[in-house]
Each structure stands twice: as C-alpha cells, then as structure tokens.
A and B are shown apart, each in its own frame.
Chain A
Amino acid sequence: MHNVVTKSRDVTLLEVLDRVLDKGVVISGDAVISVADVDLIYLGLKVLLSSVETVEQLRGSPFVGPMQEPT
C-alpha cells in the first residue's frame, strides 16, 4: 500500500462519479440497456455532494445492495 495518496481514505464522491458515470466501457447492442451520458452538473452534484462530502473507507465497508433503498 502506498502511504502518500491512497484513495481509501479521503476520496470525494466527485472522484467516483467523475469516473463511473462518465468513463468505463460502453457497449452497444440490441440486448443492452445503457445509461446515457450523465452530465454531473445536470445531476445537481452540488446538492449531492453537500449531503455526503466524502466516501470514507471505500474499501472494507459493508456493501449496500443495488436494490436497497437509500436511507
């Protein structure tokens, strides 16, 4: 583990969203549903970020299932 800048400690939600909503492989085909490009500004990220500033402990924290409603 690198001590200086590991992500697990203090990565903002911005960093996560900047990647998972905007990057990553996109495939096209009849059988595939894919989320259209999401503009972070359109998402109202400011509001989103002020509710939870950082994603602490990105590793090792309990998972929340995709079907679980946000609390």
Chain B
Amino acid sequence: MVVEGQLTYLYCVADREPKIREIEGPENNLYSVCHNSLYAVAAKVEESKFSEEGLKKNMADLEWVKTNATLHERIIEQIMTNTCVIPFKFGTLFNTDDSLKAMLDEYGEEFKAILGRLENKEEWGVKIYCDTEKSKHFSINDEPEILKIENEINSCSPGKAFFLKRKKAELLAQVVNRKINESGQENFDLLKELSFEARINKLLPREVTEREDDMVLNSAFLVGKDDVGDFINMVDALKVYYENEGFFIDCTGPWPPYNFCGLSNQKVRNA
C-alpha cells in the first residue's frame, strides 16, 4: 500500500495476529502488515506532519506531542491485551510498507527471540520519591549520635550551640543520603528477586515530575504474569514500611515492555 503524501507509522511488532479490528477507529487508520511470520501494527500518517522536518516542528508543540504520544501508548496497550508485543519508540516511520517489510526481514530473527523472551511477562514501573525534610525528621530519633548532640545543644552556651547545630545538620544530611541509597538499593533488590529482568533508569528532576519531593529511584521490572500478585504484595509491604520514613513509592503497570526489548545494537542505550 503506497499512498502519495503518506508515511507508514509503526507502533509495535507481534508474533500473533493482533486484533486491531476492535480498536480500529475512523481516524487512526490502523492496519497490520504480516511478513516473515511477524505482524507489524502500523498506521498511515500524513507526510507533512511526520516527515523529518514536520516532526521537528511538531515535537516543539507540546499539545501535539501529548496527543500523539498518548495515542501511541494507547494503541500498543490495546494490542498487548491479545498478544505479546515489541513496542517501538514514538515516531518510527517508513516511507512505504515495503520498507517496513524489509526491516522485518532484517531484524526478524532478533524480534522473534525478543518476543519469545517476553512471552507471559509484563513490565512494571517503580519510582521512589523522598521528602528529605520529612526523612530528616524521622531520622533524628534513629541516630544516637544526633540525639546526643541535640541533648548537648539544649544544655550548652549559645556559641557552642551554634556549632553543634551546624554539625547536627551535616550529620542529618549524611544520614538521609545514606538512607536514600540504602532504601533504593533494598527496594530494587527485593523487587528484582521477583522479576526476570530489572533496569534502573535516569532520575527525573522536579521540573519534570512537578513533585515537591525528589525522585530517588526510577526502575522498571519484567515480571512473569504469574508473579505479578507477589510483586504487588511486595510493593505494598515496602510502601507501608517506607512511607513512615519519608518515602513515597509509585508503582504502575502493566506497561508494554519498553525497557526490555533492546536490540543487540542498542545494548549501550539500554545499559
């Protein structure tokens, strides 16, 4: 299918026929391309909007990105209710269906291996945030050394108290830092135990998260469908424990396995 002025937008690749009829709407032009025992879920999009130049312009338009990134996610999520998928990055385009098929030839064996590895597994995301002030507050009573300084502050001269307060603040910051590292590691290790694979991603700053607290762990797990119950129970147990320490644990899923479908030439990217 070659249509003048249109490009082929690829959402995902599956090894079973995806049920796209159910999600086919009048606007989204979804169809599947079967080739080399694989199914690619794609849509025809206007070249003016998705050409390199068009994309460059549109990616600066927040509303456009929001609408189209959400659509990308929704479509892949619908597909993955019926079949295991390899999700592609937003904005993967081909000139024609033939060039898409050529790609399925080139990467076919790798895709099949990845799909085999992903079968019956789901991606879950766990982000942990820390309210450092709150965590400091909780930490005072846990640290004998800090308690000792605090007692001294109450009974010494104002001059000495000034320096002791500074020392206390330094110690407290160290303690909280240590707690953040330890809790992040502990949470990650415990959840990793219940997963086939696990990734740590880069932390996102407050400007992006729009939260008052700081992201201290951004992680993703590939969990067996039979183990999801255990995984969630573990997250809940960790939530209860860590929320008393000033941490907030945010768990979302199931996601398409964005974090676990790296091609061999992407190893560096996903490391």
Q: How far is the CB of A71 from chain B (nearest CB, A)?
A: 9
Distance in angstroms from A47 CB to nearest chain B CB is 6
Do A25 and B263 touch across chains, with their CB atoms under 8 A apart?
Answer: yes
Residues of B within 8 A of A68 (CB): 27, 67
Once the chains are docked, how many angstroms separate the CA of A15 from the CA of B28? 23
Query: Which residues from A are CB-within-8-Å of B74?
Result: 58-59, 61, 63
Partner of B106, one of A14, A29, A49, A51: A29
Contact A51 B62 (CB under 8 A): yes
Q: Is the CB of A7 within 8 A of B62?
A: no
Interface residue ranges of B198-241 to A (CB < 8 Å) = 201, 204-205, 207-210, 218, 228-229, 232, 235-236
In contact, A16 and B25 (Cβ under 8 angstroms): no
Task: Write the nearest CB–CB distance from A51 to chain B, whole angstroms.
Answer: 7
CA distance A19 to B125 in the complex (A): 10
- B49 contact set on A, CB distance < 8 A: 66-67
Q: Which of A31, A51, A65 contacts B103 (CB 8 A)?
A: A31
Q: Which residues of B contact A21 (CB under 8 A)?
A: 65, 69, 89-90
Report the minimum CB–CB distance from B178 to chain A (whole Å): 27
Chain A: CB-nearest residue to B6: A67
Contact A59 B78 (CB under 8 A): yes
Contact with A along B1-37 (1 / 0, CB 8 A): 0000001010001000000000101111100000000
The secondary structure that dominates the A interface is: loop
In the complex, A27→B230 CA distance in Å?
A: 35
Asked if B242 is at the interface of the complex by the 8 Å CB criterion, the answer is: no
Find out whether the CB atom of A64 lies under 8 angstroms from the CB atom of B71. Answer: yes
User: Given that A7-B253, A43-B65 are contacting pairs, would A19 and B73 also be in contact in the complex, using a CB cutoff of 8 Å?
Assistant: yes
Asked if B25 contacts A62 (CB within 8 A), the reply is: yes
Closest to A13 in B: B66
Contact B89 A34 (CB under 8 A): yes
10 additional contacts (CB under 8 A) given A13-B66, A66-B45, A67-B49: A25-B87, A26-B89, A29-B99, A31-B96, A33-B52, A43-B65, A48-B66, A63-B23, A63-B71, A67-B45
Contact residues of B with A, CB < 8 Å? 7, 9, 13, 23, 25-29, 43, 45-46, 49-52, 55, 59, 61-75, 77-78, 86-96, 99, 102-103, 106-107, 125, 201, 204-205, 207-210, 218, 228-229, 232, 235-236, 251-256, 258-259, 261-263, 265-266, 269
Q: Which residues of A are at the interface with B, using a C-beta cutoff of 8 A? A: 2, 4-7, 11, 13-29, 31-35, 38, 40-41, 43-52, 55, 58-59, 61-68, 70
What are 5 of the A-B contact pairs (CB < 8 Å)?
A21-B69, A31-B95, A34-B93, A67-B45, A70-B61
